[in-house]
Amino acid sequence: MPSLLAVCVVHQLLPDAAGVGVTAIDKRPVAGPVKVGPYGLHADVQADRKHHGGLDKALYAYAQEDAEYWERELGRELAPGFFGENLRTEGIDVNAARIGEVWRIGEQVRVEVTMPRTPCQTFARWVGGEQARGWVRRFSDARRLGPYLRVLDKGRVRAGDPVVVEHRPDGAPTIIDVYRAPASAR
């Protein structure tokens, strides 16, 4: 059964290397249940709600299976939270999720898939080193993006909670169908 492998919140705010403010990409797993509200996880931070937060991007999910792909590609371990995700899933193809799809996580929380993540230069700088060169395009081309989620019903989630697809709208596009590579990646 699909489940949450980890629930991740910001570990620390970091100055963005481009000098444009701070970034909350440094997410790490936490133990125990975490409250989920309209803007995401309690104790998390959305440093830039215009691009990486708000109601339609309250949570970001990334699959362990996709993380393992990148571990092989990059030659290093990528712990839960590395992609800036709040939810590291296992056993669900998050990239095949349809816009409007509804998931129940644990007993209380319900979320709706809203859009794919668009990789940015902050993410590339986070990857670091030589691997950061061309990262936005590489990540885009791999189409292992993960979805943003809107919170429909608040509650608590924790690692090990099941993830159940409650509704999958027929004919709705997947997050990959709607994804457009950013101009900077072309």
Q: Above 70 in pLDDT, residue 86?
A: yes
Express each pLDDT in 43-53 by its tens digit: 998 766 666 67
Q: Is residue 184 part of a domain?
A: no
Single out the residue of 24, 88, 58 nearest to residue 148, CA to CA: 58
The pTM assigned to this predicted structure is 0.93
Q: What CATH code is carried by the domain that includes residue 62?
A: 2.40.33.20
Domain that residue 165 falls in: 3-175
Express each pLDDT in 18-60 by its tens digit: 666 788 889 999 999 999 999 999 999 876 666 667 899 999 9
What is the number of structural domains in the chain? Answer: 1
Q: Is residue 131 part of a domain?
A: yes
- What's residue 186's pLDDT? 41
Express each pLDDT in 156-181 by its tens digit: 999 999 999 999 999 999 999 999 75
